[in-house]
Chain A
Amino acid sequence: MSEMPANTSKGHIEVKNFSLDYETIEGSVQAVTDTQIHVKPGEFVSIVGPSGCGKSTLLNAVAGFLKPTTGTVTVDGERVNGPSAERGMVFQQYSLFPWKTVRENVEFGLKMRGMPRSQRERAARTLLGLAGLEAFEKHYPERLSGGMKQRVGIVRALATGPKVLLLDEPFGALDAQTRVIMQQILTNMWQRLKISVLFVTHDIDEAIFLSDRVYCMTARPGSIKAEIPIPLERPRQQSMMMSSEFLALRRGLMSLIREESLKAMGGEINDMGMQGLNIELHGHSLADVI
């Protein structure tokens, strides 16, 4: 494990007074507004919310791909300005380099850091072994199943020993069974490494099963609607998902999100109502003509 320094005392993410607008031809649109979140060192925190609520936007700002319009994003007190290997990221689309073998993908971060070839080969092998991927080190990603690709994605992000791991709906493209297995693997790795995790998902079960804390976001413009601690004991088992405690949490989160989804849909329904009104007016004028 010497290749992966455990960051027990590091990885404190803090997002304060955060808002993010983007410009369109009709003017600026608020994606996220007035948001405060934090992840304590070694904590596993999820963000859930209705689709389009800006949870990925928030994550991308923590990664350093987007600049906040107002507010700050800091990791261990240092302001985030631009992507860095300190914040590992796992993408929904796997985003493995198709021209690199599994091992070369995992080695990439170490190569960028200037680690000599033999050393990084050894490190990559160790990591791949942990994820059960040793036998596939020479394969190109195209030949792997979705679950294996994402395991490589996670291992690649962890290889450089980042302070925090950011995951953007990492299991969204996987089938239900693989998803469950991947959740288990992620939990195992997280517990070994004691790394801070910020996990974006729209799957409530996934969020509860994995997290210490869950933030629930409002419909667009997104902000934090609720913060729910998950007191389920660790290590978590699949069987816990049937427990009354889990189900209560699930019901609570469900209703929060449903409310927001309806709000988001409500906007559209109102718009349609307006259209209906137009048509009626039109009909009315027609009736006048007649």
Chain B
Amino acid sequence: MSNPAILRHSEDSMPAIAEAGSVRAVTPPATPPSFGTLALRWYRLNQSRLRATAIGLISLLAFLLVWHLLTTYRVVFFVRFTNVPSPLAVYASFTKAMHDPKFLMHILLSCRRIFIGFSLAAIIGVPLGLIMGRFKLVHEVIFPVAEVLRPIPAIAWVPMAIMLWPTNEQSIVFITFLGSFFPILVNTLHGMSLVDPVLVRAAQCLGARERSIFREVYFPASLPHIFTGLTVGMGVAWVSLIAAEMISGQYGIGYFTWEAYSLVQYADIALGMIAIGVLGLGSSLLIRGAGQLVMPWRST
């Protein structure tokens, strides 16, 4: 955007504008620039980003190369690469898995658990955080309990979850829920505590009542922190899910990875790990995208 220039121009012509009561139009350049100049400009503006992408690709390729070398030569130097599958072996088992409905089912099941557990955490955590941030009594009642439960890692809940819930599936979803719930709650609370009181006063001076202030000021002002909570919560949800699946699952990508180890299918271990990484990355990208949609004022 060529905005700064426009802003300054208009600032200078202000007194005239205010007195005439009309706006002098900011005239656009007479002829649209050619494709060549546009491309060149785009390149200049995005130079650093292009550079970062290029270097990122090179570094990923270098990682694959090192992995390949370490495994083909079965390097043993403190760490043993003797049984570690090579990238090509993993790729082979990936193509095989793509045609295996069982592998896809593992992935789908894990995604479903994340979806349910995480959604529940968001649906409960965000409103609870907003209410706790606004009403002192609710905060005073709930906060101590939350603070005691918060440091317990979700994995430590596995035995308790198995006792609490009738089915294995439910207890795994519960673990996923717990993992994401506290980051979401805590960040929402944090966002509420940082709302600029002057904005609240400004709203009051414009005739806003409690409910409108909540909807028009507190909620949007907390959104950036809510989304931080959702991003962190999504990460912890995957950590908790995989742990729970490895311990007590019969399906799911975490179970798949653990099972590969038991069945001595080493290539599948790496495949499972990479799948988990990709799924985690994908879900946090989804949240980031949602954040940009919901908070258009934050992006430029």
Contacts and interface: CB of A to CB of B under 8 A. Distances in A.
B147 interface: no
A63 interface: yes
Contacts of A148: 7, 10-11
Contacts, number: 106
Given A129-B21, A129-B22, A112 B199 contact: no
A125 to B, nearest CB: 11
Contacts of B39: none
A142 B297 CA distance: 8
A135 interface: yes
A108 B203 contact: yes
Interface stretch (A36-44, A84-92, A194-202, A270-278): A84-92
Given A99-B297, A109-B207, A130-B21, A145 B11 contact: yes
Contacts of A132: 10, 13-14, 17-18, 23
Contacts of B79: none
Interface in A125-183: 129-136, 140, 142-145, 147-148, 156-157, 160, 178, 181
A184 B15 contact: yes
Nearest to B23: A134
B206 A112 contact: yes
A96 B199 CA distance: 7
B206 A108 contact: yes
Q: Which of A112, A131, A144, A145 has the most CB of B within 10 A?
A: A112
B202 interface: yes
A97 interface: yes
A113 interface: yes
A108 B216 contact: yes
A150 B202 CA distance: 13
Given A130-B21, A145-B8, A185-B14, A99 B295 contact: yes
Which range holds the interface residue count of chain A? 35 or more
B11 A63 contact: no
B212 interface: yes
Which range holds the interface residue count of chain B? 35 or more
Interface string A98-127: 111000000011001100000000000000
A87 B207 CA distance: 9
A93 interface: yes
Interface in B201-217: 201-209, 212, 216-217
Nearest to B17: A132
Interface in B197-234: 198-199, 201-209, 212, 216-217, 220-221, 223
A188 B13 CA distance: 15
B155 to A, nearest CB: 38
B198 to A, nearest CB: 5
B3 A143 contact: yes
Interface of A: 63, 65, 82-85, 87-89, 91, 93, 95-100, 108-109, 112-113, 129-136, 140, 142-145, 147-148, 156-157, 160, 178, 181, 184-185, 188
Given A135-B10, A147-B14, A157-B205, 9 more contacts: A84-B207, A88-B205, A89-B205, A91-B198, A129-B23, A130-B18, A130-B21, A148-B7, A181-B15
Interface of B: 3, 6-8, 10-11, 13-15, 17-19, 21-23, 25-26, 196, 198-199, 201-209, 212, 216-217, 220-221, 223, 295-297, 300
Top 8 A-B pairs ranked by shortest CB distance?
Answer: A85-B207, A132-B17, A109-B206, A83-B204, A99-B220, A112-B207, A140-B297, A89-B205
11 contacts: A82-B204, A87-B205, A89-B202, A95-B196, A97-B220, A108-B208, A112-B209, A132-B23, A145-B8, A157-B206, A160-B207
